[in-house]
Amino acid sequence: MAVFLASFFFGFAEAPHLSQWRGPKRDGIFYENNLLKEWPGAGPALLWSFEGLGAGQGSAAVANGKVFVTGIPDTLDARAFLYAFDLQGNLLWKKNYGKDWNINFPGARSTPTVVDDLVYLESGMGAVYCISAQDGRTVWSVDFFRDFQADSVQFGFSESLLVDGDRLICTPGGKTNNVVALNRFTGEKVWSSPGYREQATYASPILVNHNGHRLVVNLTASSIIGLDAATGEMYWRIHQFQDNKIHANTPVYFDGRILVSSASRKDSSGLVLLQLSPDGKKADIVWRNREFTNLMGGFILKDGYLYGSAYLQPKWFCIDVATGVTQYISKELGGGPVIFADGLFYCYAERDGEIALAEATPAQFRIISKFKVPLGTLEHWAHPVVAGGKLYVRHGDALMVYAVRN
């Protein structure tokens, strides 16, 4: 179930007004500079806030001088809205895009993906929308059940959509149209893949450029799958177990390898490192670490070590990526989402709503500053975003924007 202004998209073509889930490479790293190295005791200055978004766990999207976020003001009614603000917090428009998820853990889930003047979002009910960033006009929409014969998922569709040039990649799940590429300007199907014929899960796909071979990598109910980005042909499948079929973390690609994390209260496949063959058509397991119980907070890969937390536990892990061995576990802060910018970690404790600025190395995890999120409702699940020297924190009904640049 977060996002940012980027200059490059996976090392491919320049994308001057791109905003997507967990930063320009979907790995939680935001390429900002001159940020504060510590915060005042009460936290960084709150520039503006907005209450009244409604229920939601999706992050803010910041692109082209605008901020986009979704919410369901009345979960009984289930009508959901896409809100557009300027960078000073003025509401420019809001768009009722249809019904969104109001059953278990109600709320709008997907983080909008923005490319130039188009906003793409996926509802928990399995609809994909392309909306004008200028005025909220619906350009096109598709429905997973009507158009792709999708299977339902227990907690609502939560994928944040992936743009690949002129294509939009989404995961309806089901037996036939498991993963689909759409023309992002018209919504027409470009290719459809049966994948491993499983239900969708809650992860968001990534685009991999591996030795000139382009792959889409995502998770379905019990699988990590790698597809040819040009045709949708499934190259490989790795079994990945989670007892409720909740795979909510986005894979991370680096140096021909892929890291994936799942977690259960019981046994699960845990954290796994995959090695791709030179042409990307095969993947082999290098190691597994079942101690790292990270369900949906994401993790950061930095200088050969992985940093992330346990689900609902005050445990922050440092793991040697070469071996999969846990270097240490720090208990200074509650677990939750994590992102990285300008050399420091931004950690969001999901139980108590604390936001911490931290330094992490293979030797230690050190809290520099922290403050408690003052506004909002329900779960602290939305991943923070750093864009333009500002920290965007979404907590249910509220969006808060803080100054974090010197």
At residue 232, the pLDDT reads 98
Residue 246 lies in a domain: yes
- Tell whether 374 is covered by a domain: no
Q: In the prediction, which pLDDT does 116 show?
A: 95
Per-residue pLDDT of the chain (406 residues; tens, 9 = 90+): 433 333 333 333 344 478 999 999 999 999 999 999 999 999 999 999 999 999 999 999 999 999 999 999 999 999 999 999 999 999 999 999 999 999 999 999 999 999 999 999 999 999 999 999 999 999 999 999 999 999 999 999 999 999 999 999 999 998 999 999 999 999 999 999 999 999 999 999 999 999 999 999 999 999 999 999 999 999 999 999 998 899 999 999 999 999 999 997 677 789 999 999 999 999 999 999 999 999 999 999 999 999 999 999 999 999 999 999 999 999 999 999 999 999 999 999 999 999 999 999 999 999 999 999 999 999 999 999 999 999 999 999 999 999 999 9
pLDDT tens figures, 140-188: 999 999 999 999 999 999 999 999 999 999 999 989 999 999 999 999 9
Length of the chain equals 406
Q: For the sheet containing 385-387, what is the strand order?
A: 46-51, 398-403, 390-395, 385-387
Identify any residues that bridge with 371 across adjacent strands, giving them in sequence order.
355
CA dihedral 184, 24, 315, 343 (to 10 degrees): -170
Helix (H) or strand (E) holding 146: helix 144-148
- Note the pLDDT of residue 297: 97
Question: What CA–CA distances, in Å, run from 404 to 47, 244, 344?
Answer: 10, 38, 12
- Burial classification of residue 322, based on how many CB atoms lie within 10 Å of its CB (0-12 exposed, 13-18 middle, 19 or more buried): exposed
Convert the pLDDT of each residue in 39-85 to its tens digit. Answer: 999 999 999 999 999 999 999 999 999 999 999 999 999 999 999 99
Residue 362 · residue 33 · CB < 8 Å = no
Q: The whole model's pTM is what? A: 0.94
Pair of tokens at residue 319: 């793991």
In a domain, 31, yes or no: yes
Closest CA to 271 of 258, 284, 256, 254: 258
Q: Is residue 362 part of a domain?
A: no
The three-state DSSP-derived secondary structure of 100-138 is: CCCCCCCCECCCCEEECCEEEEECCCCEEEEEECCCCCE
Q: Is 255 within a domain?
A: yes
- Does residue 278 sit within a domain? yes
Edge-first strand listing for the sheet containing 91-99: 61-63, 66-71, 79-86, 91-99
Domain that holds residue 161: 6-45+52-292
Please count the CA atoms within 13 angstroms of the CA of 160 that sit on its side-chain side.
31
What CATH number is attached to the domain comprising 231? Answer: 2.40.128.630
Residue 388 covered by a domain: no
In 3D space, the residue among 188, 252, 15 whose CA is nearest the CA of residue 113 turns out to be 15
119 assigned to some structural domain: yes
Domain count, the chain: 1
Residue among 27, 15, 21 at smallest CA distance from 58: 21
pLDDT of residue 383: 98
Residue 19 CA to residue 30 CA, distance in Å, equals 11
